[in-house]
Structure 1
Amino acid sequence: MKNPSWINCESRQRALEHVAHHTVDVVVVGGGITGAGVALDAVSRGLSVALIESHDFGAGTSGYSSKLIHGGLRYLARMDFAVAWESAMERRWLMSNIAPHLVRPLGFVIPDARSAPAWEGAAAALGVVIYDVLRRLSGLGSKTLPRPQLLSNQAVTALAPALDVTALRRGYLYWDGQAVDDARLVLGVVRTAARHGAHVLRDVKASSLTATTVEAVDTRTGARVAIQARAVVNTTGVWAGDFEPQLSVTPSRGTHLVVRAERMGNPHAAHTVGVPGHFGRYVFVLPQPCGLVYIGLTDEADHTADGHRPQVPEHDVDFLLDVVNATLTVPLTREDVVGSFAGLRPLVEAAHGDGPDGTADISRRHLIRDVPGAPITVVGGKMTTYRRMAQDAVDAVVARLGIEASCRTKTLPLVGAASATVLGTIDAPARLVAKYGTEAAAVQALQLQDPRLAEPLFDGTEITGAELFFAVQAEGAASMADLLERRTRLAFVPADAALARGRAEQILAMAESFSSREQTSARNEAGE
């Protein structure tokens, strides 16, 4: 029997057949991190679940974030203690129980500029201390997230070489969580839901929802899909208002620029840059495991953008370069920017109001809308708090169904999760362990099946054909966009994606042929 966590064309067909003939307890509409979390929470409580997504999992906002699992330092600056505390607790569960293989510690340097008023440095130091108190109160130990430190200029240079330390008094170092890849976190939650029995369906686009039904279309075939359920949960993010007219959802565009790590001196820590005139708002310079640095992010209302492919306007590029260049010894130019990406955050304007700073001032609290006779809608929030959002939504589901079933997800590990001790024993490269956890050895073993799977996709990358093959076999990938944009993130640097495309097309064809032969063999064995 195949791994029950695998999602692919075969599992999709089984799910389609099941929902065509059975009423499920819950159907979740939207396969971003929130929908994935709701599906996992519900199925782990013993409910029968169908999860539908109109595109690929994580193809919208959830795959294009800053990749941070953070306790909410900026929320402390805005005195939003409730969100900061909730974020700190959810960070604890992710880093200690749920996904320690996908969330790693990342140091952040806060530069204390000589040109800034002294009180700003003092405020930053106090904020870092309070932030660490939240870390300790949440139960997350200093072995996972170290205590903050006061940095000399020499120490700042060692961690963030691109910073102009001659303009600094000192620096402050604090630690937070960084997702190795936000799209992988979404996939991990989806596959864990599948492992527990959820019926997972991508490329199924909902057209209408009621409290107990979903009308949808299979976008691969054009066939109608009608799903009956005891409860329907709307987790469609920036599209939530399409199914819930009483909500006013403000899409906020978060743009990031991509530069090569060597251009920034190969930093060992992230650093923050305060946005002039906006206390508590920052631009982050975020080193990635893949030799890149992301610089972001903007926070601007965008009601016309494509939720799956929002364009990056020129003024976003100018804004991010202007802010970050104020702190660098050698300013970045447009030629240093090798890529960019943006996501749209679903902010609930009606629930929290719009402040003087536009969408940057709207709270990141989430909203559960539970009105009798209508779908349950969950919207707002952020990636760090997806699990709590899901818990609140499923609490509403079980109350509506009149049953008792407690949440189990605080300590429920995702597919591939294990302690650092266990992960250290896996016979696979550290890069694969960081990406796949306990499944790294299985991905490594694929390289023995065919020489094409062992070779890097192009000179200058460590990504092999085996990773693409596994993406089709076990992670639901079905197109070049899935492989290059979300399973590898090569599309963040278009020049790299172009180099990989030829090999990726070969691997996709190979994986599809292999899957087709397996399905034919299975039908023959079943006597069909």
Structure 2
Amino acid sequence: MSIPNGNSALDRARRDAEWKELEELVADGGQVDLLVIGAGVTGAGIALDAASRGLDVVLVDRQDIAFGTSRWSSKLAHGGLRYLASGNIGIARRSAKERGILMEVTAPHLVHALPQVVPVLDEFTLANKTLPRVGFVAGDALRIAAGTAASTLPRSRTVGPKEVVELAPTVRTEGLRFGYVNYDGQLVDDARLVVALARTAAACGARVLTHVGAVDATGTAATLADRLGEGGELRLRARNVVNATGVWAGGIDPTIRVRPSRGTHLVFDAALFGNPTGSLTVPVPGALNRFCFVLPAPLGRVYVGLTDEDAPGPIPDEPEPTEAEIDFLLEVINRGLDRKVGRADILGAFAGLRPLIDSGEGDTADLSREHAIIVADNGLISVVGGKLTEYRLMAEQTVDAALARTGQPAAPCWTDRLPLVGAEGEAEPLPGAAPRWLIERYGAEAGAVVAASKLDRPLDRVAEGVDVTRAEFSWAVTHEGALTVADILDRRTRIGLVPADRAAAEPAAEEALAACAG
């Protein structure tokens, strides 16, 4: 199957034109088939599923594509190993299958195999020494059952101290006996995946309107407010309305109970860790299935995570890591390092809130990662919980629920065979001086990114020491719907994760917005 031959480019002109189309539709008393509120990975996935089945779809977000939790993940396409360890075989099998679809069909240019190395030290308990290997063997079985090729995800193995050090150069070598290596999927960037989903939905005919908030909603209508232009408000009717706002779901449907769990990561210079090619995995003391990771990341960075802390109270737009979480991550990860890291080494930090279903008891680390599709008395459909890796399945089930509610006919789901923009197609040739990272971020569109640049010196970096070209900033505005400096720096690229880099690149982002206006 191939991407529908529609226009996938998102820009300010298209957004404003589609807002006017909705105004005219409302004035004529018309309606759309499906309105999706929330343009994170779940909402964008739902919009793509519905639009690819031939439905008339509108996707809105009061901020931007991937503004919320979807950009704050560990950038891993998990195969469900942790859930297998806790006895949740169903979610483990689904995760392994969905991971394979992501890596082999949906976005092979954005997801690659990441070796995860667990060093085995003399001081580890017997459980910490043996259980990872048992789990990795089970993970191999999951991969085989999911039909994912070994060429996509190699089988796990036991390696000697030398290879452990090759994968994770700063690993603690005192008492290092050997290591276990397992392969999982790693996203080049979680926000880039969501942008690709939204653009592919647009190619299938969906209207994608960022910076448009839903003031209120029922199962058949919502009041939408243009937060950027002078469009004001309109009351859009729809056969079905889906609330895909994650941890903010209760703001649309007050009956929804979500218990946010905060996951925090620290950002370091990759050179501090010897530019690792594998993910160093260190067991959390006293826990059998919790680990902290040193994850290789783009832009010459490394992410250290992950916490799982209850986050009650008002839900902020952009969560902040706590001092206790920073101390926890440093303490755990330093157990596995020869060269200890401290607060002075931290370049940045970020935190996201998992939209867990509130069961009313237990630690958030023990709460189920299952998703739920809830239909309110007024017909509003909300989807909460779940994991990034399972976004496609969640989308399929949500659209099926919407169609069943109204009895509307539609084509069957085929997103398990539908590649996203950049995943296939005839690529324009790249200039000889173009950096390799363009292919890693844009796939088959890498040449087009350079050729379409509205900025001069397209292959120059946007700032000294920042591995992002001026052409990428231009493409973010002309094709990926970036409307503000923050859209460019914090979501189309991840420059904003390091404040110093953000400040250095901001003039180039402002230049791109000005050059690409209109």
Give, in whole Å, the separation in 2 of the partners of 1:148 and 1:504: 43
Match of 2:132 in 1: 124
Match of 2:302 in 1: 293
Match of 1:265 in 2: 274
My pick for the range that moved more, 395-404 or 53-62, is 395-404
Q: Secondary structure at the match of 1:38?
A: helix
Offset of residue 306 of structure 1: 4.5
Match of 2:249 in 1: 240
2:417 aligned residue (369, 391, 411): 411
Residue 499 (structure 2) pairs with residue 490 (structure 1): no
Q: Is the 8 A contact 2:428 2:445 kept in 1?
A: no
My pick for the range that moved more, 409-418 or 116-125, is 116-125
How do residues 197-276 of structure 1 correspond to structure 2 at under 5 angstroms?
197-220=205-228, 221=230, 223-276=232-285
Q: Is the 8 A contact 2:295 2:302 kept in 1?
A: yes
Match of 1:392 in 2: 397
Q: What amino acid maps onto 2:17 in structure 1?
A: R
Instruction: Give aligned-pair identity as a percent.
Output: 45
Give, in whole Å, the separation in 2 of the partners of 1:79 and 1:269: 27
1:467 aligned residue (468, 472, 494): 472
Match of 1:189 in 2: 197
Q: What amino acid maps onto 1:354 in structure 2?
A: E
Aligned pairs, how many?
505
Give, in whole Å, the separation in 1 of the partners of 2:131 and 2:291: 14
Match of 1:28 in 2: 36
CA deviation string 1:434-473 (max 9, x = no partner): 11111110112245x6534332112212312111111011
Instruction: Kindly indicate which of the two structures has a greater share of residues assigned to helix.
Output: 1
Give, in whole Å, the separation in 1 of the partners of 2:505 and 2:457: 13
CA deviation string 1:366-424 (max 9, x = no partner): 001124532011010011000011011001011112134311111111011129xx779
Q: What amino acid maps onto 1:13 in structure 2?
A: D
Q: 1:99 to 1:248 in 2, by over 3 A?
A: same
How do residues 138-217 of structure 1 correspond to structure 2 at under 5 angstroms?
138-217=146-225
Residue 289 (structure 2) pairs with residue 280 (structure 1): yes
Q: What amino acid maps onto 2:308 in structure 1?
A: D
Match of 1:438 in 2: 444
Give, in whole Å, the separation in 2 of the partners of 1:65 and 1:58: 11
Give, in whole Å, the separation in 2 of the partners of 1:480 and 1:305: 27
CA deviation string 1:55-79 (max 9, x = no partner): 0100110011111011022112212
Give, in whole Å, the separation in 1 of the partners of 2:358 and 2:176: 38
CA deviation string 1:306-345 (max 9, x = no partner): 5431112111111100110111111101111000111111
Give, in whole Å, the separation in 2 of the partners of 1:62 and 1:310: 13
Segments of 5+ residues of structure 1 without an aligned counterpart are: 516-528
How do residues 508-527 of structure 1 correspond to structure 2 at under 5 angstroms?
508-512=513-517, 515=518
Give, in whole Å, the separation in 1 of the partners of 2:428 and 2:345: 36
Offset of residue 217 of structure 1: 1.2
The two structures have a TM-score, normalised by structure 2, of 0.94
Q: Secondary structure at the match of 2:153?
A: coil
Q: Secondary structure at the match of 2:347?
A: strand
Q: Is the 8 A contact 1:426 1:438 kept in 2?
A: no
Offset of residue 198 of structure 1: 0.4
Q: What amino acid maps onto 1:70 in structure 2?
A: H
CA deviation string 1:167-213 (max 9, x = no partner): 32211000000110000000000000000000111111111111100
CA deviation string 1:198-231 (max 9, x = no partner): 0111111111111100012111136112111011
Offset of residue 109 of structure 1: 0.2
How do residues 307-326 of structure 1 correspond to structure 2 at under 5 angstroms?
307-326=316-335
Match of 1:520 in 2: none
Offset of residue 425 of structure 1: 7.5
Match of 1:524 in 2: none
Q: Is the 8 A contact 1:29 1:235 kept in 2?
A: yes
CA deviation string 1:131-169 (max 9, x = no partner): 011001101111011111101111111110111122322
Residue 513 (structure 2) pairs with residue 502 (structure 1): no
Q: What amino acid maps onto 2:375 in structure 1?
A: D
Offset of residue 119 of structure 1: 3.4
Residue 361 (structure 2) pairs with residue 354 (structure 1): yes
Give, in whole Å, the separation in 2 of the partners of 1:114 and 1:44: 54
Match of 2:345 in 1: 336
Give, in whole Å, the separation in 2 of the partners of 1:256 and 1:166: 26
Give, in whole Å, the separation in 1 of the partners of 2:260 and 2:114: 28
My pick for the range that moved more, 25-34 or 294-303, is 294-303
Offset of residue 117 of structure 1: 2.2
Q: Secondary structure at the match of 1:453?
A: coil
CA deviation string 1:26-84 (max 9, x = no partner): 10011100000111111111111111100010011001111101102211221211111
Q: What amino acid maps onto 2:31 in structure 1?
A: T
2:67 aligned residue (55, 59, 73): 59
Give, in whole Å, the separation in 2 of the partners of 1:304 and 1:222: 33
Give, in whole Å, the separation in 2 of the partners of 1:313 and 1:321: 13
Q: RMSD over aligned Cα, in angstroms?
A: 1.8
My pick for the range that moved more, 116-125 or 144-153, is 116-125
My pick for the range that moved more, 333-342 or 117-126, is 117-126
Q: Secondary structure at the match of 2:458?
A: helix
Give, in whole Å, the separation in 2 of the partners of 1:76 and 1:118: 20
Q: What amino acid maps onto 2:352 in structure 1?
A: G
Q: Secondary structure at the match of 2:152?
A: coil
Match of 2:22 in 1: 19
Give, in whole Å, the separation in 2 of the partners of 1:102 and 1:432: 11
2:13 aligned residue (10, 18, 24): 10
Give, in whole Å, the separation in 1 of the partners of 2:234 and 2:32: 14
The two structures have a TM-score, normalised by structure 1, of 0.92
My pick for the range that moved more, 296-305 or 55-64, is 296-305
Give, in whole Å, the separation in 2 of the partners of 1:508 and 1:245: 38
Give, in whole Å, the separation in 2 of the partners of 1:146 and 1:182: 22
Q: 1:38 to 1:146 in 2, by over 3 A?
A: same
